[in-house]
A and B are shown apart, each in its own frame.
With several copies, the nearest count.
Chain A
Amino acid sequence: MNIPKITKILDIQNEAKNVKTITFKYPNKSKPGQFFMIWIPGVDEIPMSVSYLDKDIKEITFKKIGDATSALYKLKKGDRIGVRGPYGNGFQPKGKQVLFVGGGTGIATIAPAVEHTVKNKNKATVIIGAKTKDELFFEDRLKKCGAKILVSTDDGSKGFKGFVTDLAQDILKKENIDSIMTCGPEQMMKTLLTYSNNIYFQASLERYMKCALGICGQCCIGEGLRVCMDGPIFDGETLKNVTDFGVYRRDSAGRKVRF
């Protein structure tokens, strides 16, 4: 059976403007980069990356953007949600020195991978990018784990002013990076891929998901790559052959929507 397991919200944290973290009990092995389907009964069921994982406890960190995330945003400690998963493949950085680039809520997806990298005695450099200061989160958390943190904001309200990709390009020149792991807006990731040269590259993609089990085809990119199952993380080699990468996604009806 693969149905939502009902669990109570143990804790809720405000992370940034319109961004919250929800903590719940969900004993299950998960890997950084995997995601859950989160059921908000009566509203919707949506994909959410695991933003913190422990044997029994899991967290998701999300931004309020529409119906489902707004309903989730309103929930209180003790309220119940349904969780199924984890789904997808997870990050697999190569080498000793890893560059993480998180744009927007993408940092939520990346955070556990950063911690995992440091724990495994590898070096992690993290670029957190956001439009503005108020939308930044996880800086402290990731500093604490021992990663090197760089911040960029589009408006320069904190850290580097400009595109996160420019900052990344800079780092790539200066440091001896073995892999790049990224999650964020797809055009950002696509730009990053062009900057990556021969460095091992993995990007976590977001597509409209329905089944999350690789059946319905809703989330497919390229030649039938299922983001829910063959992804959500794809390497650079694969993405170079995916003509839709950074170009369009599909909405709930399967119509193309340009980025």
Chain B
Amino acid sequence: MVLLAEINTKVGSLPLKKPTMLASGIMDEDAGSMKRIIKCGAGAIVTKSIGLKPREGYPNPTLIELEYGILNAMGLPNPGIDNFGEEILKLKKSKTPIIGSIYGANSKEFIKLSQKMEDYGASAIELNLSCPHAKKYGLEVGSDPKLIKIITSSVKVNVNIPVFVKLSPNVTNISKLAKAAESGNADAIIAINTVKAMKIDLDLRRPILSNKIGGYSGQAIKPIGIRCIYEIAEHVNIPIIGVGGILTGEDAIEYMMAGASAVQIGVGIYYRELDIFNKINKEIEQWMDKHSYKKLSEIIGAAHL
């Protein structure tokens, strides 16, 4: 059967052939991995969050599978921005947008990182203001509307590519933070990063992750992500990218109805193989055909009455 629906979309000025992007931190530390994911049908790639200096991350265990999701505290391991250039440069010929995710402790760091990402050829910048378990770099900056606004606007004036802001659900009021990003001229909001959580080993009477607290992703957090997107969409006028527990085409559509212009997929690759991008793209098309939708624009934000 020929699928009739068109699933291209755009996030602000960034057009995407497919609405399914690779989420930051998953199979995106080197050019080879990102190439493989592009072949699997991702509409865009977000790199691992990169900082100024190389960072080893926490000792293992850093990631475990819980009953209904994945718990991780990698601790933002990354080779540092200077080593990362060659990875992005290798992807130069790819027609799939590469979005450079970066983390920092203050505006100065974010500016430097985003300028380098732009130089390397990234199509957009994703400001990770939401790592739930990295001291100094995560929620410390990502839960303060003033800091969000300052960091966003200072990056904005220093680069010419779109700037996206990734938010955490571990806050009292996520739409306030989204508004802060908007007022800092962010081009889009991404939500959600992982949810702060913990697993204790009963035999050894200790948290399993070396960092004790980790970030929860996968199926279990989808209803939290949907809620965040919905709340954000009620408060901002810039595009939103939805992420958190997307495993199927219907999950992606639910996020889009909540207000997402595109979606990201993280640990879904564990549950449905790397090919999950192709699978979900197809499922979206099939669902749209069945329900007589022709374009994603008919779906995006549809649940706001």
Q: Give A contacts to B, CB under 8 Å.
A: 1-4, 6, 37, 39, 41-46, 80, 82, 84, 209-211, 213-218, 220-226, 250-256
Contacts and interface: CB of A to CB of B under 8 A. Distances in A.
Contacts of A220: 27, 29-30, 32-33
B77 interface: yes
Contacts of B145: none
B251 interface: no
Interface in B289-304: none
Given A6-B201, A220-B27, 15 more contacts: A1-B67, A4-B201, A45-B60, A84-B64, A210-B57, A210-B60, A210-B77, A213-B270, A215-B270, A218-B29, A224-B32, A224-B36, A252-B77, A253-B55, A253-B79
A209 B74 CA distance: 11
A46 B204 CA distance: 18
Please provide the 9 A-B residue pairs with the shortest distance between their CB atoms, ordered closest to farther. A224-B36, A45-B60, A2-B65, A6-B203, A217-B27, A224-B33, A211-B63, A254-B79, A253-B54
A215 B26 contact: yes
Given A221-B32, A224-B34, A214 B65 contact: no
A221 B48 CA distance: 16
23 contacts: A1-B66, A1-B67, A3-B64, A4-B64, A4-B201, A41-B206, A210-B57, A210-B60, A210-B74, A211-B62, A215-B63, A215-B72, A215-B269, A216-B25, A216-B26, A216-B74, A217-B28, A217-B30, A220-B27, A220-B33, A250-B30, A253-B80, A254-B79
A46 B60 contact: yes
B65 A217 contact: no
B72 A211 contact: yes
A6 to B, nearest CB: 4
A2 B16 CA distance: 35
Interface of B: 25-30, 32-37, 48, 54-57, 59-67, 70, 72, 74, 77-80, 83, 199, 201, 203-204, 206, 208, 210, 266-267, 269-270, 274, 305
Nearest to A5: B203
Given A210-B74, A252-B56, A223 B36 contact: yes
A84 to B, nearest CB: 8
B218 to A, nearest CB: 10
Contacts of B305: 42
A251 B79 CA distance: 9
A35 B64 CA distance: 16
Contacts of A209: 60
Contacts of B204: 6, 41, 80, 82
A82 B64 contact: no
A251 B78 CA distance: 10
A84 B37 CA distance: 27
Which DSSP category, helix, strand, loop or mixed, fits chain A's interface?
loop
A44 B59 contact: yes
A256 B29 CA distance: 11
Q: Which of A1, A41, A84 has the most CB of B within 10 A?
A: A41
A226 B28 CA distance: 12
Contacts of B57: 210, 252-253
Nearest to A8: B203
A213 B77 contact: no
A44 B201 CA distance: 15
Given A1-B67, A217-B29, A224 B79 contact: no
A213 B54 contact: no
A220 B35 CA distance: 12
A44 B60 contact: yes
B203 A80 contact: yes
Q: Which of A37, A82, A252, A256 has the most CB of B within 10 A?
A: A252
B217 to A, nearest CB: 9
Contacts of B210: 44
Contacts of A213: 63, 65, 70, 270
B226 to A, nearest CB: 13
B254 to A, nearest CB: 12
A186 to B, nearest CB: 16
Q: Which of B57, B59, B67, B72 has the most CB of A within 10 A?
A: B59
Given A213-B65, A220-B29, A255 B59 contact: no
Contact of B208 (A3, A210, A214, A250): A3
A215 B56 contact: no
Contact of A82 (B25, B56, B201): B201
Contacts of B61: 4, 37, 39, 45, 82
